[in-house]
Amino acid sequence: MKIIILSTLILIMYVSVSFAQSELNAYKYVIVPKKYDFLKGEENKYELNSLTKFLFAKKGFTALFENQNYPADLIGNLCLALFADVNNDSSMFTTKLTIELRDCYNKVIFTTIEGKSKEKEYDKAYHEALREAFISIERLDAYSYNSKAIANKPSISQIATLKNVVENVEKVAQSKSIPKNQLKTLVEEVDQPKVIIQKPTPATVPMVNVKQPKKEIKNKKFIAKSYKNDNISFFLVEQNNSLVAYVSESKTDVYQKGEMIGTLLKTSIPNVYRVIWKNEVGENKETTGYFDETGNLKIDVNRDGKIEIIIFEVEK
């Protein structure tokens, strides 16, 4: 039984790593923040941000600090990049860090194992834990950007895979008498690999009541405003340094209530955003958008080779 469980875990981990590798190859850049929230927002404290950037560059990625001078192709399409962050789950005597990579839709593409350190000095502890966490990425095959790879698809969380698969394999193995020749069946019965599909719902927008689209709602973490045209009304919510649109009312079958239909990403040009928007035929298209002097949102669309502007009026 132990041999079967071990073999199953090895097979699942192999599938997981292979999938993650192909996912990462779909991205040309890794953008590293200049400061981490858990270090009280102090820029490059303990040189942890510099170390993060260095480790990705050493692996072969084009690593950039956020808001530095981006290459022209990245300015035109922020979805070429993954956005790195470091999560801190330290206890009193142990420093614990994981590295998380998200795409331009804020979907988690990859999460490393948890790096740990019992060093007492903060700088040594954070560096040791970060390097240990990065082992997950170092053990992947050599990174090579593939422009033909399809990015922004549902992806694997390594933590979910390694933590949950062990539990599920043990449960299945204990409840059944499993001959060795049925290893494939066992693999199919456990949750492998753990694919995270993040479907936005109204619940993902804290405290926003979709029945009251005209009300502007504020708290310390986000600002939500409502916009509309003849077909839809939606909330525009500030989340993770981007603006995300959630449908509150729809007069067409293309858009569903509570659905995320667009993301606005800041560019180096003030008030100009790189937009990923679901068009009237249900396709997500990359374009540009901006707010006019009255606060209305204007988004460029390409119709038969001609640029037209869709106007969404702000509801006051």
Comparing 169 with 80, the larger pLDDT belongs to: 80
Written as one string, the DSSP assignment of 210-251 is: TT-TTS-EE-SS-EEEEEE-SSEEEEEEEETTEEEEEEEEES
> What ranges make up the beta strands (E) of the chain?
29-32, 62-65, 81-88, 95-102, 108-111, 115-117, 155-156, 195-196, 217-218, 223-228, 232-239, 242-250, 260-266, 272-278, 284-291, 297-303, 306-314
Residue 50's pLDDT is: 94
Clarify whether residues 34 and 123 are in a common domain: yes
Comparing 115 with 204, the larger pLDDT belongs to: 115
In a domain, 107, yes or no: yes
In a domain, 248, yes or no: yes
pLDDT digits (tens, 9 = 90+) for 179-227: 544 444 444 444 333 333 333 333 333 333 333 333 343 333 444 688 9
pLDDT at 174 over 80: no
Name the least confident of 65-74, 101-110, 134-143, 172-181.
172-181
Clarify whether residues 208 and 140 are in a common domain: no
Domain boundary among 145, 169, 186: 145
- Cβ atoms within 10 Å of 43's Cβ, excluding its own: 11
* Cα(21)–Cα(24) distance, integer angstroms: 5
Clarify whether residues 132 and 32 are in a common domain: yes
Residue 199's pLDDT is: 36
Mean of per-residue pLDDT scores for the chain? 74
Q: Percent of the chain, pLDDT > 90?
A: 28
Report the phi/psi class of residue 142: left, alpha or beta, with left for phi > 0 and alpha for psi in -120 to 50.
Answer: beta
Clarify whether residues 117 and 214 are in a common domain: no
Q: Can you read off the two tokens belonging to residue 31? A: 């953008």
Q: Can you read off the two tokens belonging to residue 54? A: 């260095």
In a domain, 308, yes or no: yes
* Cα(236)–Cα(225) distance, integer angstroms: 5
Clarify whether residues 219 and 117 are in a common domain: no
pLDDT at 168 over 80: no
Q: Which amino acid is at 108?
A: V
Contact 74, 28 (CB under 8 A): yes
- Which residue's entry shows tokens 């979805």? 79
State how far the alpha carbon of 187 is from the alpha carbons of 9, 12, 160, in Å.
9, 8, 16
In a domain, 157, yes or no: no
Say how many domains are in the chain.
2
In a domain, 260, yes or no: yes
Domain of residue 245: give its range.
Answer: 202-314
Domain boundary among 97, 116, 145: 145
In a domain, 197, yes or no: no
Domain boundary among 145, 173, 191: 145
pLDDT at 310 over 70: yes
In a domain, 303, yes or no: yes
pLDDT digits (tens, 9 = 90+) for 1-49: 545 444 444 444 443 444 455 578 889 999 999 999 899 878 999 999 9
What's the distance, CA 202 to chain centroid? 18
In a domain, 7, yes or no: no
Prediction pTM value: 0.48
Residue 222's pLDDT is: 41
- The residues, ordered by sequence, that sit 6+ positions from 124 with a Cβ below 8 Å of its Cβ are 117
